[in-house]
Amino acid sequence: MALQILKEKQPIRGVLFDMDGVVIDSERLFARFWMASAADLGFPMTYEQALQLRSLRREQGIEKMQSFFGPSADFDEIRAHRIELMEAHIAQYGVDEKPGIRELLACLKEKNIPCAITSSSALAVIRERLGRLGILEDFTALCSGKDVPNGKPAPDIYLAGAAAIGVPPEHCLAIEDSPTGLEAAWRAGCMGVFVPDQDQPDALTLSRCFAKADSLLDVMALL
C-alpha cells in the first residue's frame, strides 16, 4: 500500500524533514562506511548493527558501540575514520537525492506550507549536502541536532524545527526513516510519517506513526 494513514489527521501547516535517508540517499553510505571503519579497526560490525547507529548523538553512540564490542571499542576513533572514508567517497561521487523530494518541495511551495530540515547532522554538513543538490533555498529553516540540548530520540530537534517555522508541533508532519527519529517526532507531538529507507518499521515504531508512505511522492497525498 503506497500510503497508510494510521491516526486521526490534524490540519497540516508545516513539514519537518530528517535529511539522511529522507531528503538525500545517504543512509546506505553511513551503513557501508560504519562497517568498513569498524572492520579496519578490528571490529566486525554487521549491517544490522550499523543501522542502529542512525541519528544517535555521541553519548548514545558510545553506549551503543560498547554494547556491540565491549569497552575496547573507541567510538570516537571509529566514527572519525568513518567520516574520513565517507567524505572521500562523497567528494569523488557526490550524493543522490531521494526520489520525489523535488516534487514534494514544489508542492509545499505551491501551497505556501513552510518546511524545515531537522537533522542530527551539523549545520555545515546540512548546508553542504543540500547546496550540492541545489535545494538549499527550498527550505524555510535548517535545524541541526548539534544545536539542541538533547539528540534524537529526545524531542528537542523537532520542537526546534516547529518553532523555527512558526507552527505548533501538532500541526507539523515529521518525515522520518528511522525508529530513533520517529520516536523523537512522536515525543514532540508531531504527526510522524515513516518513509522506509534501509528497513521497515517495527510494531512499536508503527504504533507511533501518524502515517506510513512508500515514497515522498506518496506523502503529497496528505497535503
Mean pLDDT, range 124-151, rounded to an integer: 96
Q: Which residue has the higher pLDDT, 145 or 55?
A: 145
DSSP run (H or E) holding 176: strand 172-176
Same-domain pairing of 166 and 119: yes
Number of domains in the chain: 2
Choosing from 73, 93, 113, the residue where a domain stops is 93
Same-domain pairing of 8 and 77: no
Same-domain pairing of 188 and 210: yes
Q: Read off the pLDDT of residues 111-128 as tens digits, 9 standing for 90 and up.
A: 999 999 999 999 999 999
Q: Is the pLDDT of residue 198 over 80?
A: yes
Same-domain pairing of 11 and 54: no
CATH number of the domain to which 18 belongs: 3.40.50.1000
Average pLDDT taken over every residue of the chain: 95
Q: Is the pLDDT of residue 218 over 60?
A: yes
Is the CB of residue 57 less than 8 Å from the CB of residue 158? no
Same-domain pairing of 149 and 214: yes
> Could you give the 3-state DSSP secondary structure of residue 143?
strand
- Per-residue model confidence (pLDDT) at position 213: 96
Q: Which domain holds residue 35?
A: 27-93
Supply 154's cell numbers: 529526545
Q: Read off the pLDDT of residues 53-74 as tens digits, 9 standing for 90 and up.
A: 987 888 889 999 999 999 999 9
Same-domain pairing of 112 and 32: no
Q: How confident is the model at residue 1 (pLDDT cuts 50, 70, 90)?
A: low
Of 33-42, 51-60, 97-106, minimum mean pLDDT range: 51-60
Same-domain pairing of 135 and 38: no
- pTM for the complete prediction? 0.87
Same-domain pairing of 74 and 130: no
Is the CB of residue 212 less than 8 Å from the CB of residue 6? yes
DSSP run (H or E) holding 194: strand 191-194
Supply 80's cell numbers: 572519525
Choosing from 71, 93, 115, the residue where a domain stops is 93
Q: Among residues of the chain, what percentage have pLDDT more than 70?
A: 100
Same-domain pairing of 89 and 169: no
- Per-residue model confidence (pLDDT) at position 57: 81
Same-domain pairing of 102 and 202: yes
Supply 195's cell numbers: 518513509
Q: Residue written as cell 510522524?
A: 192
Choosing from 44, 77, 93, the residue where a domain stops is 93
